[in-house]
Protein backbone atom coordinates (compact mmCIF):
# COMPACT_ATOMS: atom_id res chain seq x y z
CA UNK A 1 0.00 0.00 0.00
CA UNK A 2 0.95 3.65 -0.23
CA UNK A 3 3.26 4.98 2.42
CA UNK A 4 3.56 8.45 3.88
CA UNK A 5 4.07 11.06 1.20
CA UNK A 6 5.39 14.60 1.58
CA UNK A 7 5.51 17.56 -0.75
CA UNK A 8 7.38 19.39 -1.96
CA UNK A 9 10.48 17.21 -1.70
CA UNK A 10 12.73 20.25 -1.94
CA UNK A 11 12.04 23.86 -1.13
CA UNK A 12 14.34 26.86 -1.44
CA UNK A 13 13.15 29.99 0.32
CA UNK A 14 14.59 33.43 0.78
CA UNK A 15 15.00 34.54 4.35
CA UNK A 16 11.77 36.08 5.55
CA UNK A 17 9.49 34.10 3.24
CA UNK A 18 6.68 31.90 4.51
CA UNK A 19 6.65 28.22 3.53
CA UNK A 20 4.09 25.42 3.78
CA UNK A 21 5.04 21.76 3.87
CA UNK A 22 2.48 19.04 3.27
CA UNK A 23 2.18 15.53 4.68
CA UNK A 24 -0.17 12.80 3.45
CA UNK A 25 -0.22 10.05 6.09
CA UNK A 26 -1.05 6.41 5.53
CA UNK A 27 -4.80 6.03 5.15
CA UNK A 28 -6.49 5.25 8.45
CA UNK A 29 -3.60 6.35 10.61
CA UNK A 30 -4.90 8.36 13.53
CA UNK A 31 -1.56 9.65 14.76
CA UNK A 32 0.73 12.05 12.94
CA UNK A 33 4.11 13.36 14.06
CA UNK A 34 6.39 16.05 12.64
CA UNK A 35 10.15 15.92 13.16
CA UNK A 36 12.99 18.23 12.14
CA UNK A 37 16.29 16.70 11.02
CA UNK A 38 19.27 19.04 10.83
CA UNK A 39 22.19 18.06 8.63
CA UNK A 40 24.14 15.20 10.17
CA UNK A 41 21.78 14.88 13.12
CA UNK A 42 18.93 12.64 14.18
CA UNK A 43 15.33 13.75 13.82
CA UNK A 44 13.92 15.90 16.62
CA UNK A 45 10.25 15.92 17.60
CA UNK A 46 8.23 19.00 16.71
CA UNK A 47 4.54 18.27 17.20
CA UNK A 48 1.90 15.53 17.41
CA UNK A 49 -1.68 15.18 16.16
CA UNK A 50 -4.34 12.68 17.09
CA UNK A 51 -6.88 12.98 14.30
CA UNK A 52 -7.42 16.74 13.96
CA UNK A 53 -6.38 17.59 17.50
CA UNK A 54 -2.88 18.91 18.10
CA UNK A 55 -2.11 17.27 21.43
CA UNK A 56 1.56 18.12 21.75
CA UNK A 57 3.48 21.04 20.28
CA UNK A 58 6.25 21.08 22.83
CA UNK A 59 8.98 20.66 20.20
CA UNK A 60 8.09 23.62 18.00
CA UNK A 61 11.17 25.89 18.19
CA UNK A 62 9.36 29.21 17.95
CA UNK A 63 5.99 30.81 17.35
CA UNK A 64 6.96 31.10 13.69
CA UNK A 65 6.18 27.38 13.38
CA UNK A 66 2.55 26.37 13.02
CA UNK A 67 0.98 23.01 12.15
CA UNK A 68 -2.54 21.94 11.35
CA UNK A 69 -4.52 18.85 10.39
CA UNK A 70 -8.04 20.22 9.94
CA UNK A 71 -9.78 17.06 8.72
CA UNK A 72 -7.69 14.51 10.53
CA UNK A 73 -5.78 13.33 7.48
CA UNK A 74 -3.47 15.67 5.53
CA UNK A 75 -1.28 17.89 7.68
CA UNK A 76 0.54 21.10 6.87
CA UNK A 77 3.56 22.51 8.67
CA UNK A 78 3.90 26.24 8.11
CA UNK A 79 6.98 28.28 8.88
CA UNK A 80 6.58 32.04 8.85
CA UNK A 81 9.39 34.51 8.21
CA UNK A 82 11.91 31.74 7.56
CA UNK A 83 15.42 32.05 8.99
CA UNK A 84 18.63 30.36 7.91
CA UNK A 85 18.56 28.16 11.01
CA UNK A 86 15.27 26.69 9.76
CA UNK A 87 17.20 24.90 7.00
CA UNK A 88 16.68 21.19 7.63
CA UNK A 89 14.75 18.14 6.48
CA UNK A 90 11.22 18.08 7.83
CA UNK A 91 9.92 14.57 8.35
CA UNK A 92 6.36 13.47 8.84
CA UNK A 93 5.46 10.13 10.42
CA UNK A 94 2.11 8.43 10.92
CA UNK A 95 0.93 5.51 13.00
CA UNK A 96 -2.28 3.62 13.69
CA UNK A 97 -2.28 4.97 17.21
CA UNK A 98 0.16 6.92 19.34
CA UNK A 99 1.74 3.75 20.75
CA UNK A 100 2.14 1.96 17.42
CA UNK A 101 5.11 1.95 15.04
CA UNK A 102 5.76 5.27 13.32
CA UNK A 103 6.18 5.17 9.54
CA UNK A 104 8.16 8.03 8.08
CA UNK A 105 7.78 9.89 4.83
CA UNK A 106 10.77 10.85 2.65
CA UNK A 107 10.88 14.35 4.09
CA UNK A 108 10.98 17.86 2.68
CA UNK A 109 14.43 19.39 2.44
CA UNK A 110 14.15 23.12 3.18
CA UNK A 111 16.99 25.47 2.35
CA UNK A 112 16.68 29.07 3.49
CA UNK A 113 19.03 31.48 1.75
CA UNK B 1 20.30 17.99 25.98
CA UNK B 2 20.89 14.82 23.99
CA UNK B 3 18.62 12.18 25.51
CA UNK B 4 20.17 9.37 23.49
CA UNK B 5 23.90 9.20 22.74
CA UNK B 6 25.13 7.13 19.81
CA UNK B 7 28.54 5.94 18.66
CA UNK B 8 30.46 5.64 16.46
CA UNK B 9 29.63 8.48 14.10
CA UNK B 10 30.85 6.42 11.16
CA UNK B 11 31.81 2.81 10.61
CA UNK B 12 33.52 0.94 7.78
CA UNK B 13 33.17 -2.83 7.71
CA UNK B 14 34.27 -5.49 5.24
CA UNK B 15 31.58 -7.56 3.57
CA UNK B 16 30.75 -10.51 5.79
CA UNK B 17 31.93 -8.77 8.94
CA UNK B 18 29.98 -7.71 12.02
CA UNK B 19 28.82 -4.11 12.41
CA UNK B 20 28.24 -2.90 15.96
CA UNK B 21 26.60 0.40 16.90
CA UNK B 22 26.15 1.51 20.49
CA UNK B 23 23.66 3.77 22.23
CA UNK B 24 23.14 5.02 25.76
CA UNK B 25 20.19 6.78 27.37
CA UNK B 26 19.50 8.62 30.60
CA UNK B 27 15.74 8.64 31.07
CA UNK B 28 14.71 5.46 32.90
CA UNK B 29 11.10 6.11 31.89
CA UNK B 30 11.91 5.08 28.32
CA UNK B 31 10.26 1.75 27.54
CA UNK B 32 10.72 1.35 23.80
CA UNK B 33 14.00 1.27 21.88
CA UNK B 34 13.78 1.09 18.09
CA UNK B 35 16.50 1.19 15.48
CA UNK B 36 15.85 2.99 12.21
CA UNK B 37 17.70 2.64 8.91
CA UNK B 38 17.89 5.62 6.57
CA UNK B 39 19.09 5.67 2.97
CA UNK B 40 20.01 8.96 1.28
CA UNK B 41 16.92 10.89 0.22
CA UNK B 42 14.59 8.60 2.14
CA UNK B 43 12.87 8.77 5.49
CA UNK B 44 13.94 6.54 8.39
CA UNK B 45 12.50 3.02 8.27
CA UNK B 46 12.01 0.83 11.32
CA UNK B 47 14.53 -1.99 11.37
CA UNK B 48 14.05 -3.69 14.73
CA UNK B 49 12.87 -2.68 18.20
CA UNK B 50 13.14 -3.94 21.77
CA UNK B 51 11.43 -3.36 25.09
CA UNK B 52 13.35 -3.40 28.40
CA UNK B 53 11.84 -6.64 29.65
CA UNK B 54 14.17 -8.64 27.37
CA UNK B 55 17.95 -8.49 26.99
CA UNK B 56 18.20 -9.49 23.35
CA UNK B 57 16.10 -9.60 20.22
CA UNK B 58 17.13 -11.11 16.92
CA UNK B 59 15.56 -10.72 13.50
CA UNK B 60 17.52 -12.29 10.69
CA UNK B 61 20.99 -10.76 10.59
CA UNK B 62 20.03 -7.95 13.00
CA UNK B 63 20.28 -8.27 16.79
CA UNK B 64 19.61 -5.76 19.55
CA UNK B 65 21.37 -6.28 22.86
CA UNK B 66 19.89 -4.40 25.80
CA UNK B 67 21.49 -3.72 29.18
CA UNK B 68 18.91 -2.12 31.44
CA UNK B 69 21.22 -1.56 34.42
CA UNK B 70 23.83 0.18 32.27
CA UNK B 71 21.14 2.03 30.27
CA UNK B 72 22.78 0.93 27.06
CA UNK B 73 21.68 -0.91 23.95
CA UNK B 74 23.42 -1.88 20.75
CA UNK B 75 22.72 -3.07 17.23
CA UNK B 76 24.71 -5.93 15.75
CA UNK B 77 24.56 -6.60 12.02
CA UNK B 78 25.93 -10.03 11.23
CA UNK B 79 27.35 -10.93 7.82
CA UNK B 80 27.24 -7.27 6.77
CA UNK B 81 26.45 -6.67 3.10
CA UNK B 82 27.07 -3.68 0.80
CA UNK B 83 23.29 -3.18 0.70
CA UNK B 84 23.40 -2.49 4.44
CA UNK B 85 25.34 0.72 3.75
CA UNK B 86 23.10 3.41 5.22
CA UNK B 87 22.76 5.65 8.26
CA UNK B 88 21.44 3.94 11.38
CA UNK B 89 19.67 5.76 14.19
CA UNK B 90 18.87 4.42 17.60
CA UNK B 91 15.90 5.95 19.36
CA UNK B 92 13.99 5.76 22.60
CA UNK B 93 10.53 6.71 23.76
CA UNK B 94 7.94 6.31 26.46
CA UNK B 95 5.70 4.17 24.30
CA UNK B 96 3.12 3.92 27.06
CA UNK B 97 3.10 7.70 27.17
CA UNK B 98 3.65 10.29 24.49
CA UNK B 99 5.81 8.00 22.33
CA UNK B 100 7.71 10.95 20.89
CA UNK B 101 10.90 9.41 19.59
CA UNK B 102 14.25 10.72 20.84
CA UNK B 103 16.90 9.87 18.26
CA UNK B 104 20.63 9.44 18.50
CA UNK B 105 22.88 11.39 16.15
CA UNK B 106 23.24 8.52 13.69
CA UNK B 107 25.97 6.18 12.46
CA UNK B 108 26.95 6.13 8.81
CA UNK B 109 27.77 2.53 7.94
CA UNK B 110 29.78 1.66 4.85
CA UNK B 111 30.20 -2.00 3.95
CA UNK B 112 33.11 -2.57 1.58
CA UNK B 113 32.73 -5.41 -0.96
- Is A36 within 8 Å of A93 (Cβ atoms)? no
B-chain CB neighbours of A104 within 8 Å are 36, 43-45
- What residues 4-33 of chain B have any CB closer than 8 A to a CB of chain A? 4, 6
How far out from the chain centre does Cα A94 lie? 10
Mean pLDDT computed over A87-103: 94
Does the bond joining A8 to the residue before it have cis omega, within 30 degrees of 0?
yes
Give the residue from A24, A33, A34, A21 showing the smallest Cα distance to A73: A24
Residue B89 has a pLDDT of 97
Interface residue B66 vs chain A (CB under 8 A): no
Judge whether residue B81 has pLDDT over 90: yes
pLDDT band at B78 (very low <50, low <70, confident <90, very high): very high
Q: Please tell me the distance from the alpha carbon of residue A103 to that of residue A33, in angstroms, as a whole number.
A: 10
Residue B43 has a pLDDT of 92
Give the residue from A104, A52, A61, A56 showing the smallest Cα distance to A80: A61
Name the DSSP class of A101: P
Contact between chains at B100 and A104 (C-beta distance less than 8 A): no
Residue A102, SS3 per DSSP: coil
Share of chain B above pLDDT 70, in %: 99
Q: Please tell me the distance from the alpha carbon of residue B50 to that of residue B74, in angstroms, as a whole number.
A: 11
Mean pLDDT computed over B60-73: 96
pLDDT per residue over A49-94, tens digit each? 999 999 999 999 999 999 999 999 999 999 999 999 999 999 999 9
Q: Please tell me the distance from the alpha carbon of residue A111 to that of residue A82, in angstroms, as a whole number.
A: 10
Phi, psi of B83 (to 5 degrees): -70, -10
Interface residue A93 vs chain B (CB under 8 A): yes
E strand spans, B1-113: 4-7, 10-14, 19-25, 33-38, 45-50, 56-59, 62-67, 72-77, 86-92, 102-103, 107-112
What's the CA dihedral at B41, B43, B46, B52 to 10 degrees?
A: 120
Say which of B43, B49, B98 has its CB closest to residue A91.
B43
pLDDT per residue over A16-50, tens digit each? 999 999 999 999 999 999 999 999 899 999 999 99
Residue B26, SS3 per DSSP: coil
B-chain CB neighbours of A59 within 8 Å are 100
pLDDT band at B70 (very low <50, low <70, confident <90, very high): very high
A-chain CB neighbours of B10 within 8 Å are none
pLDDT per residue over B6-51, tens digit each? 999 999 999 999 999 999 999 999 999 999 999 998 999 999 999 9
Judge whether residue A1 has pLDDT over 70: no
Amino acid sequence: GAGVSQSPRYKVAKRGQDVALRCDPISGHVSLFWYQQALGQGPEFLTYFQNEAQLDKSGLPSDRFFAERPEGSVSTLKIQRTQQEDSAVYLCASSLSRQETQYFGPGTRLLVL
Amino acid sequence: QQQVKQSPQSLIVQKGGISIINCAYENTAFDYFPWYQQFPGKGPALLIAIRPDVSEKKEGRFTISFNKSAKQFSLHIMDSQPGDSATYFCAASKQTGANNLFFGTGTRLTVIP
